[in-house]
């Protein structure tokens, strides 16, 4: 149980850090590159929260072994745990969007700031993804609700 709570605390820590960067640091520095750090911390938030739920279920012997990779955990959570715990498909969609943004950032050859947005380009500019503060605020608000739901699941064991 200690490991589960430590993983969940890690999720809450990353969410708090993302929120702080967006609400306190971003207005001061006003650099859209900071939005990438917000996205990365949100991705870590979701990854840790999902890991905590899966560890909780493994601890109760409710699920079989799964691939312990980011994609493996997300797929298992999406297909098994989310339905069992009545997690909204909207959360899953958001988690996948954020994971995809982080992946596209890692693979992107060109990125730049423009009008308080951060633009991530694919090869030859075939696809452009933008990150802005309004979108990040919505993600953080939804992430807080998601963490509250995960807390209810994990706290039920105590």
Give the list of residues 6+ apart from residue 81 with CB closer than 8 angstroms, or none: 50, 53, 54, 57, 63, 87
Give the list of residues 6+ apart from residue 5 with CB closer than 8 angstroms, or none: 52, 154
Residue whose structure tokens are 């430590």: 6
Q: Which CATH class is domain 2-99+133-155?
A: mainly alpha
Residue whose structure tokens are 């979701």: 46
**Where do the domains of the chain lie?**
2-99+133-155
> Digits of tens for pLDDT over the chain (158 positions)?
788 889 999 999 999 999 999 999 999 998 999 999 999 999 999 999 999 999 888 887 777 776 678 888 888 899 888 888 899 999 999 999 999 999 999 988 888 998 889 999 887 767 888 999 999 999 999 999 999 999 998 876 55
Q: Are 45 and 145 in contact (CB under 8 A)?
A: no
Residue 17, both tokens: 């850090």
CA–CA dist 126, 158 (Å, integer)? 50
What is the reported pTM?
Answer: 0.90
């Amino acid at each position: 149980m200690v490991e589960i709570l430590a993983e969940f605390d890690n999720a809450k820590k990353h969410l708090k850090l993302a929120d702080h960067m967006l609400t306190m640091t971003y207005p001061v520095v006003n650099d859209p590159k900071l939005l990438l750090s917000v996205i990365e911390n949100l991705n870590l938030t979701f990854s840790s929260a999902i890991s905590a739920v899966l560890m909780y279920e493994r601890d109760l012997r409710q699920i079989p072994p799964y691939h312990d990779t980011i994609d493996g955990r997300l797929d298992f959570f999406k297909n098994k745990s989310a339905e069992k715990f009545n997690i909204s498909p909207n959360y899953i969609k958001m988690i996948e969007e954020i994971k995809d943004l982080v992946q596209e950032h890692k693979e992107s050859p060109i990125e730049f700031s423009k009008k308080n947005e951060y633009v991530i380009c694919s090869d030859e500019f075939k696809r452009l993804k933008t990150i802005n503060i309004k979108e990040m605020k919505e993600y953080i608000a939804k992430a807080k609700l998601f963490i509250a739901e995960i807390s209810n699941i994990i706290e039920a064991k105590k």
